[in-house]
Amino acid sequence: MIVVMREGCKKEEVDRVVELVREMNLKDHVIVGTERTVVAVIGDDRYKDRSVLESCPGVDRVVPILAPYKIASRQTHPESTVISLRQGTDAAVGGRKICVIAGPCSVEDRKKYLEIAQVVKELGATALRGGAFKPRTDPYQFQGLGEEGLEILAEAREQTGLPVVTEVMSLEQVLLVAKYADVLQIGTRNMHNFNLLQAVGKTDKPILLKRGWSAKLDEFLLAAEYVIQSGNPNVVLCERGIRTHEEYVRNTLPLAIIPAVKRESHLPIIIDPAHGTGHAYMVPAMCRAAVAAGADGVMVEVHQDPEHALTDGAQSLTPQAFETMMKEMKAVAEAVGREVSGTAVSVK
Protein backbone atom coordinates (compact mmCIF):
# COMPACT_ATOMS: atom_id res chain seq x y z
CA MET A 1 0.00 0.00 0.00
CA ILE A 2 0.98 3.63 -0.37
CA VAL A 3 0.44 6.03 2.51
CA VAL A 4 -0.10 9.51 1.10
CA MET A 5 0.76 12.22 3.63
CA ARG A 6 -1.02 15.57 3.72
CA GLU A 7 0.86 18.52 2.27
CA GLY A 8 2.93 20.25 4.88
CA CYS A 9 2.82 17.32 7.29
CA LYS A 10 5.41 17.20 10.06
CA LYS A 11 8.46 15.00 10.14
CA GLU A 12 7.20 13.28 13.31
CA GLU A 13 4.02 12.34 11.50
CA VAL A 14 5.99 10.60 8.78
CA ASP A 15 8.13 8.94 11.44
CA ARG A 16 5.02 7.68 13.21
CA VAL A 17 3.74 6.11 9.99
CA VAL A 18 7.10 4.45 9.43
CA GLU A 19 7.04 3.13 12.99
CA LEU A 20 3.56 1.66 12.55
CA VAL A 21 4.54 0.08 9.24
CA ARG A 22 7.46 -1.61 10.96
CA GLU A 23 5.22 -2.78 13.82
CA MET A 24 3.21 -4.57 11.10
CA ASN A 25 6.39 -6.36 10.01
CA LEU A 26 6.34 -4.58 6.70
CA LYS A 27 9.06 -2.53 5.06
CA ASP A 28 8.74 1.19 4.50
CA HIS A 29 10.14 3.34 1.75
CA VAL A 30 9.72 7.08 2.16
CA ILE A 31 9.55 9.19 -1.00
CA VAL A 32 9.69 12.96 -0.64
CA GLY A 33 7.95 14.55 -3.60
CA THR A 34 7.88 18.19 -4.60
CA GLU A 35 4.60 18.79 -2.78
CA ARG A 36 3.85 15.66 -0.83
CA THR A 37 5.58 12.81 0.91
CA VAL A 38 4.39 9.26 0.39
CA VAL A 39 5.38 6.16 2.30
CA ALA A 40 5.44 3.08 0.10
CA VAL A 41 4.82 -0.05 2.16
CA ILE A 42 6.49 -3.21 0.93
CA GLY A 43 5.38 -6.75 1.75
CA ASP A 44 2.08 -8.65 1.82
CA ASP A 45 -0.23 -6.22 3.58
CA ARG A 46 -3.47 -8.06 2.75
CA TYR A 47 -3.73 -9.20 6.35
CA LYS A 48 -3.17 -5.73 7.78
CA ASP A 49 -5.82 -3.19 8.57
CA ARG A 50 -4.99 -0.06 6.64
CA SER A 51 -7.41 2.04 8.65
CA VAL A 52 -4.75 2.01 11.36
CA LEU A 53 -2.60 4.15 9.12
CA GLU A 54 -5.53 6.23 7.88
CA SER A 55 -6.14 7.36 11.44
CA CYS A 56 -2.63 8.74 11.96
CA PRO A 57 -2.20 12.51 12.11
CA GLY A 58 -0.78 13.91 8.89
CA VAL A 59 -2.07 11.06 6.72
CA ASP A 60 -4.30 12.06 3.83
CA ARG A 61 -5.25 8.58 2.62
CA VAL A 62 -3.95 5.08 2.10
CA VAL A 63 -3.99 3.56 -1.37
CA PRO A 64 -3.99 -0.25 -1.52
CA ILE A 65 -1.74 -1.68 -4.21
CA LEU A 66 -2.38 -5.40 -3.86
CA ALA A 67 -5.83 -6.78 -4.63
CA PRO A 68 -7.35 -7.91 -1.32
CA TYR A 69 -8.17 -11.39 -2.66
CA LYS A 70 -5.49 -13.89 -3.52
CA ILE A 71 -6.75 -17.39 -4.33
CA ALA A 72 -9.56 -16.01 -6.48
CA SER A 73 -7.00 -14.04 -8.49
CA ARG A 74 -5.91 -14.97 -11.98
CA GLN A 75 -2.39 -14.10 -10.90
CA THR A 76 -2.31 -17.10 -8.56
CA HIS A 77 -4.15 -19.34 -11.00
CA PRO A 78 -3.63 -18.24 -14.60
CA GLU A 79 -5.87 -20.85 -16.22
CA SER A 80 -9.61 -20.31 -16.32
CA THR A 81 -11.47 -22.62 -13.96
CA VAL A 82 -14.11 -24.93 -15.42
CA ILE A 83 -16.68 -26.05 -12.89
CA SER A 84 -18.79 -29.17 -13.26
CA LEU A 85 -22.36 -28.55 -12.16
CA ARG A 86 -22.89 -32.21 -11.33
CA GLN A 87 -20.46 -35.09 -11.24
CA GLY A 88 -21.09 -37.64 -13.94
CA THR A 89 -22.68 -35.20 -16.35
CA ASP A 90 -21.05 -32.86 -18.81
CA ALA A 91 -22.96 -29.85 -17.49
CA ALA A 92 -20.25 -27.35 -16.70
CA VAL A 93 -19.53 -23.66 -16.65
CA GLY A 94 -16.35 -21.92 -17.67
CA GLY A 95 -15.38 -23.89 -20.75
CA ARG A 96 -16.15 -23.35 -24.41
CA LYS A 97 -19.82 -24.13 -23.86
CA ILE A 98 -22.16 -21.40 -22.68
CA CYS A 99 -24.28 -22.65 -19.82
CA VAL A 100 -28.00 -21.83 -19.64
CA ILE A 101 -29.71 -22.15 -16.27
CA ALA A 102 -33.45 -21.88 -16.76
CA GLY A 103 -36.71 -22.40 -14.94
CA PRO A 104 -39.24 -20.44 -12.93
CA CYS A 105 -38.22 -18.00 -10.23
CA SER A 106 -39.72 -20.22 -7.54
CA VAL A 107 -41.02 -23.78 -7.32
CA GLU A 108 -44.75 -23.24 -6.93
CA ASP A 109 -46.35 -26.59 -7.72
CA ARG A 110 -45.02 -30.08 -8.47
CA LYS A 111 -46.88 -30.72 -11.70
CA LYS A 112 -46.12 -27.32 -13.18
CA TYR A 113 -42.48 -27.47 -12.20
CA LEU A 114 -41.92 -30.89 -13.77
CA GLU A 115 -43.61 -29.66 -16.91
CA ILE A 116 -41.53 -26.50 -17.30
CA ALA A 117 -38.37 -28.47 -16.45
CA GLN A 118 -39.06 -30.76 -19.38
CA VAL A 119 -39.74 -27.80 -21.64
CA VAL A 120 -36.52 -25.93 -20.89
CA LYS A 121 -34.54 -29.15 -21.18
CA GLU A 122 -35.93 -29.75 -24.66
CA LEU A 123 -35.12 -26.19 -25.60
CA GLY A 124 -31.50 -26.68 -24.63
CA ALA A 125 -31.05 -25.61 -21.01
CA THR A 126 -27.95 -26.87 -19.19
CA ALA A 127 -29.42 -26.76 -15.70
CA LEU A 128 -32.65 -26.06 -13.87
CA ARG A 129 -33.35 -23.26 -11.46
CA GLY A 130 -36.16 -22.72 -9.00
CA GLY A 131 -36.38 -21.28 -5.51
CA ALA A 132 -37.57 -23.42 -2.64
CA PHE A 133 -36.71 -20.72 -0.10
CA LYS A 134 -37.46 -17.23 -1.39
CA PRO A 135 -36.04 -14.09 0.16
CA ARG A 136 -38.86 -11.58 -0.14
CA THR A 137 -38.48 -7.94 0.70
CA ASP A 138 -42.09 -7.98 1.73
CA PRO A 139 -43.09 -10.25 4.64
CA TYR A 140 -46.59 -10.52 3.26
CA GLN A 141 -45.57 -12.31 0.07
CA PHE A 142 -45.01 -15.96 -0.94
CA GLN A 143 -41.87 -17.29 0.77
CA GLY A 144 -41.40 -20.57 -1.09
CA LEU A 145 -42.40 -24.20 -0.48
CA GLY A 146 -39.30 -25.04 1.60
CA GLU A 147 -38.30 -28.72 1.73
CA GLU A 148 -41.26 -29.73 -0.43
CA GLY A 149 -39.82 -27.48 -3.12
CA LEU A 150 -36.43 -29.17 -2.78
CA GLU A 151 -38.04 -32.57 -3.30
CA ILE A 152 -39.72 -31.33 -6.44
CA LEU A 153 -36.39 -30.04 -7.71
CA ALA A 154 -34.78 -33.42 -7.06
CA GLU A 155 -37.60 -35.15 -8.91
CA ALA A 156 -37.17 -32.79 -11.85
CA ARG A 157 -33.48 -33.70 -11.96
CA GLU A 158 -34.39 -37.39 -12.07
CA GLN A 159 -36.74 -36.82 -14.96
CA THR A 160 -34.58 -34.50 -17.02
CA GLY A 161 -31.03 -35.40 -16.05
CA LEU A 162 -30.31 -31.70 -15.60
CA PRO A 163 -28.53 -30.47 -12.46
CA VAL A 164 -30.60 -28.20 -10.22
CA VAL A 165 -29.58 -24.85 -8.79
CA THR A 166 -31.39 -23.38 -5.79
CA GLU A 167 -30.79 -20.74 -3.18
CA VAL A 168 -29.69 -21.34 0.36
CA MET A 169 -30.63 -18.43 2.59
CA SER A 170 -29.20 -19.22 5.97
CA LEU A 171 -26.78 -21.40 7.87
CA GLU A 172 -29.26 -23.94 9.11
CA GLN A 173 -30.55 -24.55 5.56
CA VAL A 174 -27.13 -25.48 4.18
CA LEU A 175 -27.20 -29.20 4.90
CA LEU A 176 -30.82 -29.55 3.89
CA VAL A 177 -30.37 -27.78 0.57
CA ALA A 178 -27.08 -29.58 -0.12
CA LYS A 179 -28.91 -32.89 0.31
CA TYR A 180 -31.17 -32.13 -2.66
CA ALA A 181 -29.54 -29.56 -4.90
CA ASP A 182 -26.54 -29.82 -7.21
CA VAL A 183 -25.53 -26.18 -7.03
CA LEU A 184 -26.06 -23.92 -4.01
CA GLN A 185 -26.93 -20.36 -4.86
CA ILE A 186 -25.94 -17.50 -2.56
CA GLY A 187 -28.28 -14.64 -3.29
CA THR A 188 -27.56 -10.97 -3.66
CA ARG A 189 -28.77 -10.22 -0.15
CA ASN A 190 -26.28 -12.72 1.28
CA MET A 191 -23.14 -11.88 -0.66
CA HIS A 192 -21.81 -10.19 2.47
CA ASN A 193 -23.11 -12.88 4.85
CA PHE A 194 -19.70 -14.23 5.73
CA ASN A 195 -20.88 -17.01 8.05
CA LEU A 196 -23.01 -18.40 5.25
CA LEU A 197 -20.15 -18.12 2.75
CA GLN A 198 -17.94 -20.12 5.07
CA ALA A 199 -20.67 -22.71 5.63
CA VAL A 200 -21.23 -23.38 1.94
CA GLY A 201 -17.47 -23.37 1.55
CA LYS A 202 -17.45 -26.51 3.66
CA THR A 203 -19.84 -28.43 1.35
CA ASP A 204 -18.72 -30.24 -1.79
CA LYS A 205 -21.32 -28.59 -4.04
CA PRO A 206 -20.47 -25.86 -6.52
CA ILE A 207 -21.57 -22.41 -5.39
CA LEU A 208 -23.35 -19.86 -7.56
CA LEU A 209 -22.46 -16.54 -5.94
CA LYS A 210 -24.54 -13.51 -6.87
CA ARG A 211 -23.06 -10.06 -6.63
CA GLY A 212 -24.51 -7.74 -4.00
CA TRP A 213 -26.57 -4.76 -5.22
CA SER A 214 -23.88 -2.32 -4.30
CA ALA A 215 -20.82 -4.53 -4.02
CA LYS A 216 -17.56 -3.39 -5.53
CA LEU A 217 -15.66 -5.84 -7.72
CA ASP A 218 -13.07 -6.34 -4.98
CA GLU A 219 -15.77 -7.22 -2.50
CA PHE A 220 -17.38 -9.64 -4.92
CA LEU A 221 -14.10 -11.49 -5.46
CA LEU A 222 -13.40 -11.41 -1.71
CA ALA A 223 -16.76 -13.09 -1.09
CA ALA A 224 -15.67 -15.82 -3.52
CA GLU A 225 -12.38 -16.00 -1.62
CA TYR A 226 -14.30 -16.65 1.62
CA VAL A 227 -15.88 -19.72 0.01
CA ILE A 228 -12.67 -21.00 -1.57
CA GLN A 229 -10.67 -20.45 1.57
CA SER A 230 -13.17 -22.58 3.48
CA GLY A 231 -12.29 -25.49 1.21
CA ASN A 232 -14.59 -25.20 -1.79
CA PRO A 233 -12.86 -24.05 -4.99
CA ASN A 234 -15.96 -24.25 -7.17
CA VAL A 235 -17.42 -20.77 -7.26
CA VAL A 236 -19.39 -19.48 -10.21
CA LEU A 237 -19.79 -15.69 -10.13
CA CYS A 238 -23.13 -14.24 -11.18
CA GLU A 239 -23.79 -10.59 -12.06
CA ARG A 240 -27.39 -9.59 -11.45
CA GLY A 241 -27.47 -5.83 -11.62
CA ILE A 242 -26.64 -2.95 -9.33
CA ARG A 243 -28.62 -0.13 -7.79
CA THR A 244 -28.19 3.18 -9.58
CA HIS A 245 -30.26 6.25 -10.37
CA GLU A 246 -31.67 4.62 -13.52
CA GLU A 247 -35.43 4.33 -13.48
CA TYR A 248 -36.36 2.42 -16.66
CA VAL A 249 -34.85 -0.76 -15.20
CA ARG A 250 -35.16 -2.30 -11.77
CA ASN A 251 -31.36 -2.60 -11.66
CA THR A 252 -28.55 -1.52 -13.97
CA LEU A 253 -26.76 -4.48 -15.57
CA PRO A 254 -23.05 -3.63 -15.93
CA LEU A 255 -21.75 -6.03 -18.56
CA ALA A 256 -18.24 -4.57 -18.44
CA ILE A 257 -17.80 -6.70 -15.36
CA ILE A 258 -17.33 -9.64 -17.72
CA PRO A 259 -13.97 -8.53 -19.18
CA ALA A 260 -13.00 -7.20 -15.75
CA VAL A 261 -13.59 -10.56 -14.04
CA LYS A 262 -11.83 -12.39 -16.89
CA ARG A 263 -8.81 -10.19 -16.32
CA GLU A 264 -8.73 -10.28 -12.53
CA SER A 265 -9.90 -13.80 -11.73
CA HIS A 266 -9.89 -17.36 -13.03
CA LEU A 267 -13.48 -17.99 -11.94
CA PRO A 268 -16.31 -18.26 -14.47
CA ILE A 269 -18.98 -15.57 -14.62
CA ILE A 270 -22.59 -15.81 -15.72
CA ILE A 271 -25.28 -13.14 -16.08
CA ASP A 272 -28.81 -12.97 -14.69
CA PRO A 273 -30.56 -10.46 -16.95
CA ALA A 274 -34.01 -11.02 -15.45
CA HIS A 275 -33.06 -9.61 -12.06
CA GLY A 276 -30.47 -7.47 -13.81
CA THR A 277 -33.14 -5.44 -15.59
CA GLY A 278 -36.51 -6.45 -14.09
CA HIS A 279 -38.23 -6.62 -17.47
CA ALA A 280 -38.87 -9.73 -19.56
CA TYR A 281 -38.71 -7.73 -22.77
CA MET A 282 -35.07 -6.83 -22.15
CA VAL A 283 -33.91 -10.37 -21.29
CA PRO A 284 -33.20 -11.68 -24.81
CA ALA A 285 -31.13 -8.61 -25.78
CA MET A 286 -29.14 -8.80 -22.56
CA CYS A 287 -28.52 -12.55 -22.96
CA ARG A 288 -27.17 -12.01 -26.46
CA ALA A 289 -25.02 -9.15 -25.20
CA ALA A 290 -23.69 -11.20 -22.28
CA VAL A 291 -22.61 -14.00 -24.58
CA ALA A 292 -21.05 -11.55 -27.03
CA ALA A 293 -19.11 -9.95 -24.17
CA GLY A 294 -17.66 -13.28 -23.08
CA ALA A 295 -19.94 -14.48 -20.28
CA ASP A 296 -19.80 -18.18 -19.47
CA GLY A 297 -23.52 -18.52 -19.16
CA VAL A 298 -26.87 -16.96 -18.40
CA MET A 299 -29.55 -17.59 -15.86
CA VAL A 300 -33.10 -16.88 -16.97
CA GLU A 301 -36.62 -17.23 -15.66
CA VAL A 302 -39.06 -19.22 -17.75
CA HIS A 303 -42.66 -19.72 -16.70
CA GLN A 304 -45.59 -21.28 -18.56
CA ASP A 305 -47.90 -18.55 -17.37
CA PRO A 306 -45.99 -15.47 -16.19
CA GLU A 307 -49.26 -13.76 -15.32
CA HIS A 308 -49.90 -16.32 -12.63
CA ALA A 309 -46.32 -16.69 -11.39
CA LEU A 310 -46.20 -16.27 -7.64
CA THR A 311 -42.91 -14.40 -7.86
CA ASP A 312 -41.22 -12.20 -10.48
CA GLY A 313 -43.72 -12.74 -13.26
CA ALA A 314 -42.71 -9.46 -14.86
CA GLN A 315 -39.27 -10.73 -15.66
CA SER A 316 -40.16 -14.28 -16.73
CA LEU A 317 -40.06 -15.47 -20.34
CA THR A 318 -42.74 -17.68 -21.82
CA PRO A 319 -41.47 -20.96 -23.32
CA GLN A 320 -41.96 -19.44 -26.77
CA ALA A 321 -39.85 -16.40 -25.94
CA PHE A 322 -37.22 -18.68 -24.41
CA GLU A 323 -37.09 -20.76 -27.57
CA THR A 324 -36.51 -17.71 -29.74
CA MET A 325 -33.91 -16.40 -27.35
CA MET A 326 -32.02 -19.71 -27.40
CA LYS A 327 -31.80 -19.59 -31.18
CA GLU A 328 -30.47 -16.04 -31.11
CA MET A 329 -28.02 -16.84 -28.35
CA LYS A 330 -26.68 -19.84 -30.23
CA ALA A 331 -25.99 -17.69 -33.27
CA VAL A 332 -24.13 -15.13 -31.16
CA ALA A 333 -22.21 -17.86 -29.32
CA GLU A 334 -20.97 -19.24 -32.62
CA ALA A 335 -19.97 -15.78 -33.76
CA VAL A 336 -17.66 -15.51 -30.76
CA GLY A 337 -16.31 -19.04 -31.13
CA ARG A 338 -18.40 -20.67 -28.45
CA GLU A 339 -21.39 -22.95 -28.28
CA VAL A 340 -24.65 -23.07 -26.36
CA SER A 341 -24.79 -26.52 -24.78
CA GLY A 342 -27.79 -28.88 -24.93
CA THR A 343 -29.92 -30.05 -27.80
CA ALA A 344 -32.78 -27.80 -28.74
CA VAL A 345 -35.97 -29.59 -29.70
CA SER A 346 -39.02 -27.44 -30.35
CA VAL A 347 -41.88 -27.54 -27.84
CA LYS A 348 -44.80 -29.53 -29.16
Residues 155-194 that bind its own copies (CB under 8 A): 169-172, 188-190, 192-194
Is 238 a residue that touches its own copies (CB under 8 A)?
no
- Which segment (82-90, 94-102, 120-128, 217-225) binds its own copies by CB under 8 A? 217-225
Minimum Å gap between C-beta 285 and its own copies is 4
Give the pairing type, strands 269-271 and 97-103.
unpaired
Long-range contacts of 332-340 (CB under 8 A, 24+ apart): 332/288, 332/291, 332/292, 333/98, 333/291, 335/292, 336/291, 336/292, 336/294, 337/96, 338/96, 338/97, 338/98, 338/291, 339/96, 339/97, 339/98, 340/97, 340/98, 340/100, 340/124, 340/291
CA angle 301, 100, 196 (to 5 degrees): 75
Is 217 a residue that touches its own copies (CB under 8 A)?
yes
Residues 125-144 that bind its own copies (CB under 8 A): 135-142
- Which segment (90-98, 146-154, 155-163, 277-285) binds its own copies by CB under 8 A? 277-285
Amino acid at 16: R
Minimum Å gap between C-beta 204 and its own copies is 20
d(CA 53, CA 104): 49
**Nearest CA among 37, 34, 36, 48 for reference residue 1:** 48
Is 242 a residue that touches its own copies (CB under 8 A)?
yes
**Nearest CA among 295, 269, 293, 273 for reference residue 283:** 273
Residues 77-116 that bind its own copies (CB under 8 A): none
Minimum Å gap between C-beta 145 and its own copies is 16
d(CA 343, CA 2): 53
Is 313 a residue that touches its own copies (CB under 8 A)?
yes
Nearer to its own copies, 111 or 263 (CB): 263
Is 294 a residue that touches its own copies (CB under 8 A)?
yes
- Per DSSP, 232 falls in state -
Nearer to its own copies, 178 or 254 (CB): 254
Query: What mask, x for binding its own copies by CB under 8 A, covers residues 20 to 59?
Result: x--------x-x-xxxx-x-x-xxx-xx-x-xxxxxx---
Give the pairing type, strands 27-32 and 37-42.
antiparallel
Looking at 82, 176, 289, 321, which residue binds its own copies (CB under 8 A)?
A: 289
Nearer to its own copies, 65 or 347 (CB): 65
- The count of residues interacting with its own copies (CB under 8 A) is 114
